[in-house]
Structure 1
Amino acid sequence: MATADVIPLPATRAFSLRRQGLSGPGFATVVDAVRGTGGVYSSSPTCHLSLAARVTGFTIDDLEDELYETRRLVRLRAQRQMAYVQPVEDLPWILAAAEPGRRGRASALRQLNATYTDYERMAHKVETAMAGHEPMTLAAIKEAAPDVDDARLVVALMTRETRLVRTRPRGTWRSDSYGYARWGDWIGEAVSTVDTGEARAALARRYFTALGPATADDLRWWTGWTAGETKAVLFALRDELTEIRLGYEAPDDEVPAHVLTADLDELRASTVDPGVRLLPVWDAYPMGYKDRRRVVPPALHPRVIDPVGNATSMVLVDGEAAGVWQAGYDRLPGALVVSVALFSGAAGDRRGEIEAEAERLARSVGAADVDVEWAAERGALADGVRNTFMSPVSLGVER
């Protein structure tokens, strides 16, 4: 593996932003954006807002059509056992590398207080009850298969094993009350089997393409692999990777990392395109790294990342967190209310750009108008109540 020079933070940040579609032209389509980011978190509204930040002219229907009409995208557990939107055609190697069924099985069976044989029997009853039906809610599944113990856990494990799939939610686009369908009825063919080693190499390659350069710890964080599994994958890709050192603020603060050799020249030459983005909770960019310094200055880390690693919704200015924000969808009829709390001195005179980005976001989610509210600076997420990261701007908004 060849060794390269130290890559300064501005070049690292600029390269990652462009690969994430957060600077430059962004992505042309929703499928391109999902693939190009490494996958977006599937929770609503995160998936919609992450795509709105990256795809010019994005609307809610663009994602809905790909999930529920063309079905080129699907919601399911993937890397790090988290719920993602991923391309269906990439699932053989994504699932073989992430192993959501195997890795989640033991915990599910403990909660069910059942053996895998018991689970298979219940899963068969669920599949039989769903045969010939349109997608069914969890409540409908429970009614159709009343003798299945804890249908919620059974259905959850069946989705991990791609026996069932989440379909269109009931209610609004922000609802998490999904319908479920049998995988074969909704997607068609079963996910094919791929060699685990080759699949892990493919997933790591996708990671470095979308989120590189990165450290071994970053890769391990994003995939959920063990230290041994991560080390083995990096060894398998040794001929495709170049070892570099990421340079941070202090002269002696250099961290060993890896980049795809094919990307090295582009990385070295990268410069930041000025711009503003409003990123949602769990956005793919800040969630892609264990070490968030390319996204969040260390002094501001507690205000943007909570103690267990959740990234809150952030105002990204020239690729760096400059504040937090949250959306109010139902406070004003027909309008999206965007509440923003900037960090002192972080955004300079960029309020006009932030307001323009809020307007663009409002159009993406179908709001007829937008009302931007400016709040006082906020402190550490850990100082708030549980799950403060979900709503980092509290009451007391200053206009």
Structure 2
Amino acid sequence: MGAGLRFVGPEERRVRLGVRHRLAGGARAQSPEEVAESLVALHGTDPATVFLAVGARLVEPGKTVADTERALYEDRSLVRMHGMRRTVFVFPAELTAVVHASTGLAVAAKERAGLLKNMAAAGAPDAAWLAEVEAATLAALERRGQATAAELATDEPRLREQYVYAAGKSYEGVHTVSTQLLRVLGTEGKVVRGRPLGSWTSSQFRWAPAPPHPELEEAAAQAELLERWLTCCGPATEADLKWWTGWKVTDVRRALAAIGAQEVALAEGTGFVAAGDAEPVTGGAAEPWAALLPALDPTAMAWQQRDWYLAPELRAALFDRSGNVGPTVWWDGRVVGGWAQRPDGEIVWRVLDGDGVGREAEAAIAAEAERLRGWVGGTRLTPRFRTPLERELAG
């Protein structure tokens, strides 16, 4: 740890987490937009995560679904699009240009090159053919406003073409042009995910033209995104920053310098906070708090180095083999267990912390479980990436 740096211990980091992630009782938000603004990005790979993450942070969660659908599909104040690490997130609309320039363009270049390489290896048509299909697809989407891949294929039948990916390999598979091309167009910022075909938990969705946004310079966009994230999640180590953004370490360091990030000492080594943000955070976190957060929640997945809020011995039960976190139970800034929904709608939970958490914590967790059941109602929740504890409790 750097000599003379202010030490920010785990307890202080948990206070910051409770306040800035809208989880402490006095810090909860009034709207989905406030939640997304505070967190920078909501994980959107599993559609239900977006709604569950919002509901856990609202003062009044009863209108979670209606208000989040309004923000996503009517006001378009929130946008679901590809972002860091090729992952689908929901961002505040004003951040789409920043994410596109800071992260999306580099990802998109790799995605398009990979698609063309795979098609060529399979003997599929060339880049000129793909460009024709792309232009026709975008024109059809503009005419329709929103459409599924199948609907677009009625306008542009070549989207149904198939090719064999990785022939002869253990992971060989048959891909359709529509699936791969729409993914590339998503990373390029030309299309975004629209309203699902079913309920708010459905993973079958429509595509929509991406809202227009200005083209920003990469370094400036990276600096803005990093500053927003550090304001939400600082202090964080360089390893955390590199992991969350998916950038090269040189890009992370350039952005840190550009925003004048301050160094602090952490248990893991040197960390960083936004300029002027090294002092203790107070307000909104005086009382201990409980939360039931969904699989892939942006708080649980915010940092690569997690020992300060998640004991290593709990990970085997709470993560799948690919490193995706399942539903978690929190008490005052720490993950202490997990939860699930049974077929009859009951929300069940279990504390895994070996030392226990006490009666106050158990009462608060039980209240959060009832709060969750109250607004979810009869909707069935099954995480896309299932973990050992979630499977056991749900069964």
Pair in the same fold by TM > 0.5: yes
Secondary structure class of the residue paired with 2:301: helix
Deviation at 1:116, TM superposition (A): 4.7
Question: Does the CA-based 8 Å contact 1:3-1:243 persist in structure 2?
Answer: no
Partner of 1:383: none
Within 2, Cα distance between the matches of 1:16 and 1:202? 21
Q: TM-score, normalised by structure 2?
A: 0.84
Deviation at 1:80, TM superposition (A): 1.8
RMSD, aligned α-carbons: 2.6
Partner of 2:14: 13
1:337 and 2:343 matched: no
Partner of 1:236: 258
1:204 and 2:230 matched: no
Partner of 2:96: 91
1:141 and 2:168 matched: no
Partner of 2:186: 159
Q: Which moved more, 1:91-100 or 1:60-69?
A: 91-100
Q: Which residues of structure 2 form unaligned runs of 5+?
A: 162-176
**Number of positions where the alignment pairs a residue of Structure 1 with one of Structure 2:** 363
- Structure 1 residues 195 and 53: CA distance shift in structure 2, 3 A: same
Partner of 1:374: none
Partner of 2:35: 33
Question: Does the CA-based 8 Å contact 2:339-2:350 persist in structure 1?
Answer: yes
Partner of 1:261: 275
- Structure 1 residues 129 and 92: CA distance shift in structure 2, 3 A: closer
Secondary structure class of the residue paired with 1:283: coil
Within 2, Cα distance between the matches of 1:388 and 1:397? 10
The residue identity in structure 1 corresponding to 2:351 is L
Question: Does the CA-based 8 Å contact 1:10-1:272 persist in structure 2?
Answer: no
Deviation at 1:273, TM superposition (A): 3.5
1:346 and 2:356 matched: yes
Question: Does the CA-based 8 Å contact 1:11-1:269 persist in structure 2?
Answer: no
Give matches, 1:364-383, under 5 Å: 364-367=375-378
Partner of 1:377: none
Secondary structure class of the residue paired with 1:76: strand
- Structure 1 residues 306 and 397: CA distance shift in structure 2, 3 A: closer
Question: Does the CA-based 8 Å contact 2:82-2:88 persist in structure 1?
Answer: yes
Give matches, 1:1-399, under 5 Å: 4-23=5-24, 24-42=26-44, 43-58=46-61, 59-99=64-104, 100-113=107-120, 116-148=127-159, 149=161, 150-183=177-210, 187=211, 190-237=212-259, 239=260, 241-247=261-267, 254-267=268-281, 273-328=287-342, 331-332=343-344, 336-343=345-352, 344-349=354-359, 350-367=361-378, 387-389=385-387, 392-395=389-392
Q: TM-score, normalised by structure 1?
A: 0.83
Within 2, Cα distance between the matches of 1:337 and 1:86? 31
Question: Does the CA-based 8 Å contact 1:13-1:272 persist in structure 2?
Answer: no
Per-residue CA deviation, residues 226-245 of structure 1 (Å, 9 max, x unaligned), is 122222222223x3x22111
Secondary structure class of the residue paired with 1:288: coil
Deviation at 1:348, TM superposition (A): 2.5
Secondary structure class of the residue paired with 1:7: coil
Within 2, Cα distance between the matches of 1:117 and 1:226? 32
Secondary structure class of the residue paired with 1:339: strand
- Structure 1 residues 83 and 322: CA distance shift in structure 2, 3 A: same
The residue identity in structure 2 corresponding to 1:258 is F
Deviation at 1:135, TM superposition (A): 1.7
Deviation at 1:269, TM superposition (A): 9.5
Within 1, Cα distance between the matches of 2:99 and 2:39? 14
Per-residue CA deviation, residues 107-139 of structure 1 (Å, 9 max, x unaligned), is 333344465544322111212333422421121
Question: Does the CA-based 8 Å contact 2:100-2:188 persist in structure 1?
Answer: no
Within 1, Cα distance between the matches of 2:237 and 2:127? 37
Secondary structure class of the residue paired with 2:23: coil
Per-residue CA deviation, residues 189-223 of structure 1 (Å, 9 max, x unaligned), is x2211010000000110110111110010011100
* Deviating 4+ runs (over 6 angstroms): 268-272
Within 1, Cα distance between the matches of 2:217 and 2:4? 30
Within 2, Cα distance between the matches of 1:129 and 1:352? 54
Question: Does the CA-based 8 Å contact 1:78-1:98 persist in structure 2?
Answer: yes
Question: Does the CA-based 8 Å contact 1:327-1:339 persist in structure 2?
Answer: yes
Question: Does the CA-based 8 Å contact 2:18-2:332 persist in structure 1?
Answer: no
Secondary structure class of the residue paired with 1:315: strand
The residue identity in structure 2 corresponding to 1:8 is G
Question: Does the CA-based 8 Å contact 1:76-1:83 persist in structure 2?
Answer: yes
Deviation at 1:176, TM superposition (A): 1.0
| Identical pairs, percent | 25
Question: Does the CA-based 8 Å contact 2:22-2:28 persist in structure 1?
Answer: yes
Question: Does the CA-based 8 Å contact 1:94-1:199 persist in structure 2?
Answer: yes
Secondary structure class of the residue paired with 2:192: strand
Q: Which residues of structure 1 form unaligned runs of 5+?
A: 248-253, 371-385
Within 1, Cα distance between the matches of 2:237 and 2:282? 17
Question: Does the CA-based 8 Å contact 1:246-1:257 persist in structure 2?
Answer: yes
The residue identity in structure 2 corresponding to 1:165 is V
The residue identity in structure 1 corresponding to 2:274 is L
Question: Does the CA-based 8 Å contact 2:84-2:103 persist in structure 1?
Answer: yes
- Structure 1 residues 2 and 19: CA distance shift in structure 2, 3 A: farther
